[in-house]
Amino acid sequence: MTEQLRLMAVHAHPDDESSKGAATMAKYVSEGVDVLVVTCTGGERGSILNPKLQGDPYIEEHIHEVRKKEMDEAREILGIKQEWLGFVDSGLPEGDPLPPLPDGCFALQDVEAAAEPLVKLIREFKPQVITTYDENGGYPHPDHIMTHKISMVAFEAAGDPEKYPDAGEPWQPQKLYYNQGFNRPRTVALHEALLERGLESPYGEWLERWKEFERRERTLTTYVPCADFFEIRDKALIAHATQIDPDGGWFRVPMDIQREVWPTEEYELAKSLVDTSLPEDDLFAGIRNN
CA distance 148 to 160: 19
The letter for the amino acid at 285 is A
CB 81 within 8 A of CB 108: no
CA distance 4 to 259: 29
CB 52 within 8 A of CB 62: no
User: What are the residues facing 179 on neighbouring strands?
Assistant: 267
- Region at 259 (left for phi over 0; alpha for psi -120 to 50; beta for the rest): alpha
Question: Is 144 annotated as a binding-site member?
Answer: yes
Q: Cis before residue 140, ω within 30 degrees of 0?
A: no
CA distance 180 to 219: 9
CA distance 194 to 125: 42
Question: Is 240 annotated as a binding-site member?
Answer: no
DSSP classification of residue 227: G
CA distance 27 to 196: 30
Helix, strand, or coil here: 75?
helix
184-196 vs 204-212: helix axis angle to the nearest 10?
Answer: 140
- Taking 3-state DSSP, the helix, strand and coil percentages for the chain, each rounded to the nearest 5, stand at 40, 15, 45
Question: Is 64 annotated as a binding-site member?
Answer: no
The pair phi, psi for residue 151, each rounded to 5°, is -65, -40
Binding residues for Zn(2+): 13, 16, 144
Binding residues: 13, 16, 144
